[in-house]
Amino acid sequence: MHLIDEVVIQVYAGNGGNGCIAFRREKYRPRGGPSGGDGGRGGDVLLVATNDLSTLLDLRYRRHYKAKSGEHGRGKDQHGRGGQTREIRVPVGTMVYNDETGELLADLVEDGQILVAAKGGRGGLGNINFKTATRQAPEYATPGELGEEFTLRLELKLLADVGIIGFPNVGKSTLISKISKARPKIADYAFTTLSPNLGVAAPPRRDSFVVADVPGLVPGAHQGVGLGIRFLRHIERTRVFLHILELSDEPERDPIQDYEIIMNELALYEESSGSDLLSKPVVVAINKAEDLELAEICEEEYGPYFHEKGIPFFVISAKSGHNLVPLLHTLGDVLEQDKKEELEEEVEDDGTWSPV
C-alpha cells in the first residue's frame, strides 16, 4: 500500500428541510387550525481520526462527500426527519485546511477526535409556529437553510517518536527492518525509499517506541531537489532525530560534512515553514561499520566532534546488528527525558507547580 499523505476533497452538508403549510380538515374539528410541521435539519459532515488507518489512500479516489438533507415538514404536526450525518475516517495525524483560504481548521492528533467539517442547514419552520391569538390561520412557513460546502486539503503528518534522517542509501531502511517488524524495500540505489515507513522498536526491558524511516535528503531538499520537501513535514512531529551517516567509498564524502549538510537543510526548511526542527534532540550513528577495527577508528576520528556538541554518538552496523541495542537504549533515554521536560513545561504553564 502506498502512503498517500495529501488529498483535496469537497464536502457538502445536507440542506435543511422546508417547513410545511397545512391545516387540519378533520371531521368534528371545524377549527382545526394550522398543522404544518418543521423541516428536518441537514446532516453534518464529520472527519473522524482513527488509528486504524495509516494513509489517505481511500480519499484519493473519492473526492466528493455529501450528507443527507433533512426531510420537509408534513401536515398533522409532523416534523421532517433530520438528515443522516456523513462520517469520513482519516488517520491520526491528519491536518485539515480550508483549501481556498489556507486556514488550518484542525489538527487531528488523537484517536476518536472529531471535526465538524461542514454543518447541515437548519430546518424551516412550519406554520404551526406562527399561530397567535390574532393570527389563527398563518399561511406561510420558512424554507430550510442550505448546508455548508467546503473544499478541504488534508495533509498527513506521521506521528512517531523517532525520525530516522540522512542521505539516500545510508542504511535507514535496513536499520528499521532490523529494529522493528517493518519490511521496507531495500536496494542499492538512491531513493529506494519513496515513502515513509513506520515500525515499532522494542529494546530489551524498555518501553517500545515508534520509528519513522523518512526518504533520503539531499542538498537543496528544502527547495524541491530530490524528493523535495514533500516528506520533510513527516519529521515535524517526531520527538527525536536519529541521524544516520555512512562510511562512503567516495573520496569527497565525509560523515561530518554530510551531517552538517542535512542539518543545514533542516534549518532552511524550518525558516521557510515556521516549524521547530532544530530544537529536537539528536542522536547520531555512523552505519556500515561491519569491521570492528574500522568501528574503533571511526569512534576515535568522529566521536570527539559530536561529543563536544553533547550529541550521543554510535558506530553501528545495521546489517550485522553491531551496537544496535545500546543505540536503542539511548534513544529510549532521550525520549523519556524529552517527555519529562514536556510534562514539566505543561505543569508550569498551568501555574500549579514549577520546578525549583
Quick: pLDDT tens for 184-238: 556 454 544 556 677 788 888 878 888 888 776 665 544 554 455 566 777 777 8
Question: For the chain, how many structural domains are there in total?
Answer: 2
- Domain's final residue, options 124, 156, 188: 156
One domain for residues 269 and 242: yes
pLDDT tens digits, one per residue of 74-120? 998 899 999 999 999 998 889 999 999 989 999 998 999 999 999 99
Which residues are within 8 A (CB) of 335 and not within 5 positions of it... i.e. 6 or more apart? 161, 162, 209, 239, 240
Whether 63 and 189 map to the same domain: the answer is no
Please state, in angstroms and rounded to a whole number, the distance separating the CA atoms of residues 161 and 174. Answer: 18
Q: For residue 66, give the C-alpha cell.
A: 455529501
What is each CA distance from 277 to 65, 228, 241, 322, in whole angstroms? 35, 16, 9, 29
Domain around 143: 6-156
Q: Which of 156, 179, 198 is the last residue of a domain?
A: 156
Residues 166 and 152 in one domain: no
Q: What is the number of helices (H) and of strands (E) in the chain?
A: 5, 14
Residue 1 located in a structural domain:
no
Mean pLDDT of the chain: 83
What average pLDDT score do residues 34-40 get?
93
Percent of the chain with pLDDT over 90: 35
- pLDDT score at 318: 85
C-alpha atoms less than 13 angstroms from C-alpha of 1 in its C-beta half-sphere: 12
Shared-domain flag, residues 116 and 211? no
Residue 270 has a CB neighbour count (10 Å cut-off) of 17
